[in-house]
Amino acid sequence: MTASLVTGCGVLPGDGGPQRRTVTVWLMKDSASKEFLDRFTEEFERTHGDLDLDIRIQEWTGIGDKVHAALESDTADAPDVIEVGNTQVPQYIEGGGLLDLTLESMRDWGMDDWLPGLAEPGRQLSAQYGIPWYAANRVVIYRKDLFEQAGITAPPKTREEWLEITGKLNSGGTQGIYLAGQDWYTLAGFVWDEGGDLAEEDGGTWRGSLDTPAALRGMDFYRRLQALGDGPVDADEEHPPQAGVFAGGRVAQIVAVPGLARAVVRQNPDLEGKLGFFPVPGKSAGRPGAVFTGGSDLVVPRNTDVRDGAIAVVEALTGAEWNTELARTMNYVPNKTTLADEVADEEGVAAMAAGAARGRATPSTPEWANVEADNPIKEYMTKVLTGADPATEARRASRRITEALAAPAS
């Protein structure tokens, strides 16, 4: 939609010019800097003469209930554009409170180039409701000095090469990798790489699928990699926080978002300049591994009273100019694979962008929240890592996932 079309819609004559209307935008805390939002607001209002922006920053805690209430509200100050986590979009679609933006996505916004991990959760059947905004995903953060001491001159390009060099690094008091036993997001990437999934949908019914041969291969690779360090088998990456472990000891690698490197260096300034990044390797060279894609989509409530203005905001924020600016400002991955070169000069973000091209999200059903509330994947991983039969434990975990997906979303 062009600016001329937007500014020509719903214009009412006033004193010497069109009556200005306000677009209320909810964005999440720390998604964008104040400086970025100030620049965006100034430029948007300058080029959309009848629109004012009212950007209101929200906290993640309790946001689900607040968004649901907003989608049902008929008050004048209800939001017209809302930033939501990419995996949260299905629960808002289900309630019927979102505007269908398929036409704009196909005609104007280049949806074929969107990152799949952002686009797929925003889609139901063939309709697009969530518009990709920005992404972040895991990469491998590594100690350049420890690689050099071990005679490793370049990061691995394949999973087998990754195992080989990690085994080489795992000696002389150095952990080849610190990988907690219940880091299920990392496991998901290996499962997807093998062609499996955490759950699959058939005829409208979801079932857990950790027991498929592909998913079992993904778990086996996780088991082999996790053994090349001293990560706890019965805890996730936050218990203890892996940034502290990486900062405090001789650990060659962790799997994390690049931004975690800042926390590592804060805790151990001696590591300044010694950390590098590479995409999680895939099964073949030149094709990074699949990774879980986190990030945000923008949605427009159906009850907006400034539909054209809301669409104009989404178009501007997700368009190439401002999306690239956001990525550079906040060290995000842009929302399109075609924009990856725009962040190529930042090593960590470039590694993220390479992986994001093969990014995925959790199963696109609102009931997935039930799975994460009492996550059977974590228990499954611990059982396998402590010697239980993988096939037996995978069947048990898959049954629990199926039961959770059959229950109403909490």
* pLDDT at residue 7 in the model: 33
Report CA dihedral (395, 396, 400, 406) to the nearest 10 degrees: 40
Q: What is the mean pLDDT of residues 256-273?
A: 95
Does the pLDDT value for residue 202 go beyond 70? yes
Other C-beta atoms lying within 10 Å of the C-beta of residue 164: 13
Does the pLDDT value for residue 390 go beyond 60?
yes
Residue 361 pLDDT level (bands cut at 50, 70, 90): very high
Contact 323, 334 (CB under 8 A): yes
Q: Do 363 and 90 touch, CB atoms closer than 8 A?
A: no
pLDDT, tens digit, for every residue of 140-170? Answer: 999 999 999 999 999 999 999 999 999 999 9
- Three-state secondary-structure class, residue 167: helix
Residue carrying structure tokens 């939609």: 1
Q: 180-191: per-residue pLDDT in tens?
A: 999 999 999 999
What is the spatial distance between Cα 118 and Cα 134, in angstroms, rounded to a whole number?
A: 8
Number of Cβ within a 10 Å radius of residue 205: 10
* DSSP run (H or E) holding 3: helix 3-8
Contacts of 277 (CB under 8 A, 6+ apart): 139, 140, 141, 142, 258, 261, 347, 348, 350, 351
Note the pLDDT tens digit of each residue in 100-116: 999 999 999 999 999 99
Per the prediction, the chain carries an average pLDDT of: 93
Q: What pLDDT score does 95 carry? A: 87
pLDDT at 13: 44
362: amino acid identity, one letter: T
What is the SS3 assignment for 218-283? HHHHHHHHHCCCCCCCCCCCECCEHHHHHHHCCECEEEECCCHHHHHHHHCHHHCCCEEEECCCEC
Indicate the pTM of the whole model: 0.87
Segment 317-327 shows an average pLDDT of: 97
pLDDT > 70 in the chain, percent = 95
pLDDT at site 204:
86
Confidence of residue 16 (pLDDT cuts 50, 70, 90): low
pLDDT score, position 249: 85
In sequence order, what DSSP letters do the residues of 31-87 get, joined into one string? SS-HHHHHHHHHHHHHHSTTEEEEEEEE-STTHHHHHHHHHT--STTS-SEEEEEGG
Which single residue is written with the structure tokens 């926390």?
263
pLDDT of residue 410: 57
pLDDT at 378: 98
Helix, strand, coil share of the chain (percent; to 5) = 45, 20, 35
Give the per-residue pLDDT at 17: 59
| 131-137 vs 123-124, strand pairing mode | unpaired
User: What average pLDDT does the segment 37-45 reach?
Assistant: 98
Q: Check residue 18 and give its pLDDT.
A: 64
Q: In this model, does residue 128 exceed pLDDT 50? A: yes
Q: pLDDT tens, 129-140? A: 999 999 999 999
d(CA 94, CA 114): 22
pLDDT band at 4 (very low <50, low <70, confident <90, very high): very low
